[in-house]
């Protein structure tokens, strides 16, 4: 049972980290003059998730 709880917390932490990375990316993009939108926010979140998967599965 303890392993299940730690696995759930680890997965939630990854989602939280990706959310923070997506928010940072959104702020950087909108600071350059691009108008913000919900679609842009979703794309930033997906890009951050893809980046996280790339780092997580990297052989280095």
3-state SS, residue 59: coil
* Residue 60, pLDDT above cutoff 80: no
Tell me how far apart the alpha carbons of residues 49 and 44 are, in angstroms, rounded to a whole number: 9
The DSSP H or E segment spanning 22 is helix 2-31
Could you give phi then psi for residue 35, rounded to 5 degrees? -70, 135
Contacts of 36 (CB under 8 A, 6+ apart): 26, 30
pLDDT of residue 59: 73
- Stated pTM of the model: 0.79
pLDDT digits over 8-44, tens only? 998 899 999 999 999 999 999 999 999 999 999 999 9
């Amino acid at each position: 049972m303890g392993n299940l709880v730690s696995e759930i917390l680890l997965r939630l932490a990854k989602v939280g980290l990706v959310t923070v990375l997506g928010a940072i990316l959104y702020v950087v993009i909108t600071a350059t003059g691009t108008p913000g939108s919900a679609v842009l926010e979703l794309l930033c979140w997906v890009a951050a998730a893809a980046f996280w998967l790339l780092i997580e599965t990297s052989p280095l």
